[in-house]
Amino acid sequence: MTDTILVINAGSSSIKFHLYDIEGPQELSPRLGGQLDGIGTRRPRLRVRNAAGETLVEREIAPGHAADVPNAQEVVGTWLSGHLGGAPLAIGHRVVHGGPDLAEPVLVDDALLARLEALSPLAPLHQPNNLAPIRVIRERRPEIPQVACFDTAFHRTHSDVADRYAVPERLYEQGVRRYGFHGLSYEYIAQRLKKALPDIAMGRIVAAHLGSGVSACAIHQGRSVDSTMGFTALEGLPMGTRPGRLDAGAVLWMMEQGMGHDEIEHLLYYECGLKGLSGISNDMRELLASDTPAARRALAYFAWRVAEGMMGLGCAMNGIDAIVFTAGVGENSPQIRQAIADHWGWLGVELDPERNARHGPRISTEQSRIGVYVVRTNEELIIAQHTLALVRPQ
Ligand code: ADP
């Protein structure tokens, strides 16, 4: 029987999972992927597809069986063991925060779990959910090795200056630093460029992850040197439901208006961004299909501020050799890519409409002063690779 690696990405309302067959010493091929969503709602649903995209299972789960992430993890585990007839060789997890020091994925033990739990105040909406399945599996199946892969790790190559805000040093010492996120996606992009576009891979690259969360990263010689996200995943570019840049004074004003911590937190994480600006939706496809002035304004804001933030990263590298778009919007929307690039005409950046419509890989004209590319991200594969490398070192 082929050994497998299981990858788990647990959020507050969904658990996504991917299973890979180990084909060679470092070779992985996807076997299936699925998700249990609607955790904590009245209609949780389990969906699994094989690598060809055929549905293996799609059914509702009794709400009592998926009331929270640990419960839901049991449902996923039961389905997987029934389907696989054997345990995976190891399980890799996406964990949002690795703190200031963890720059690589690590094998989970009790000391590490305690260390990661202590980071929960830095990512209260994500870290506890990411850790819940690790704890459940550790209790039920302690013999299966687990690996934690961090969204912050790829950014630990930042300089001392890139790591800071202009605040008193004691706040930095207490952890108010620019950690950066989406690192697993950028690590995949850096790796993929080496294979697919070796001419640019070692150059000065600005990669933009435009999904539900949105950020950009300056990558030089394959390493992250700056990111638009910092202390939390709220900073930087506008997102589906998060504002990105926002004057800290606005938060003080909300407090003066009597808003409490939870209310402000909910507003900043779930009510802002495209959703707040448009009043319609956080889903880019819905906004593109709408002709209301508010939807058009939301798209215009998005394109402008993303374009501005991406070019700002050029200062970290004293120039930009290539631009890479990735994730849901970045990979699939020629219209948004064009709207962003329209702000770069003064820099000599020019997209080729036909290449852009075909989603690249190169979408800029031959004359464009900076090459612009589309690369599909694959965070799950990076997690699976790291997990395999840690349990079967070469
Ligand atoms: P996440 O994995 O963080 O949930 P994704 O990377 O899947 O996010 O990106 C989700 C976003 O991508 C949504 O705003 C969705 O509307 C957008 N998206 C997906 N496909 C398209 C498309 N064909 N055109 C425009 N936007 C798209």
For residue 303, report the phi and psi dihedrals to the nearest 5 degrees: -60, -45
Question: Which residues line the pocket of ligand 1, CB cutoff 6 A?
Answer: 211-213, 240, 283-285, 288, 327-329, 332-333
Contact 42, 50 (CB under 8 A): no
From residue 355, alpha-carbon distances to 193, 253, 262 in Å are 18, 46, 45
Q: How far is the CA of 79 from the centre of ligand 1 (A)?
A: 28
pLDDT over threshold 90, residue 394: no
Q: How far is the CA of 327 from the centre of ligand 1 (A)?
A: 7
Boundaries of every domain in the chain? 4-150, 199-374
In this chain, the answer to whether the domains covering 4-150 and 199-374 adopt an identical fold is yes
pLDDT over threshold 90, residue 257: yes
What's the pLDDT score for residue 85? 76
pLDDT digits (tens, 9 = 90+) for 97-154: 999 999 999 999 999 999 999 999 999 889 999 999 999 999 999 999 999 999 999 9
What's the pLDDT score for residue 236? 98
Mean pLDDT computed over every residue of the chain:
96
| Residue nearest atom 7 in ligand 1 by C-alpha distance | 328
Task: Judge residue 250's burial from the number of C-beta atoms within 10 Å of its C-beta, 0-12 exposed, 13-18 middle, 19 or more buried.
Answer: exposed
pLDDT over threshold 90, residue 13: no
Q: How far is the CA of 215 from the centre of ligand 1 (A)?
A: 14
Q: Which fold has domain 199-374?
A: Nucleotidyltransferase; domain 5 (3.30.420)
Mutate to test the pocket of ligand 1, among 239, 332, 336 (most ligand atoms within 8 A of CB): 332
What's the pLDDT score for residue 83? 86
Q: Is 151 a catalytic residue?
A: yes
| Residue nearest atom 22 in ligand 1 by C-alpha distance | 332
What is the residue-wise DSSP string for 336-381? HHHHHHGGGGGGT--B-HHHHHTT-SB-B-TT-SSEEEE----HHH
Q: Say which of 3, 151, 247, 283 is annotated catalytic.
A: 151
Domain 4-150: assigned CATH number: 3.30.420.40
- In sequence order, the 6+-apart residues with CB closer than 8 A to the CB of 14 are 35, 36, 37, 38, 39
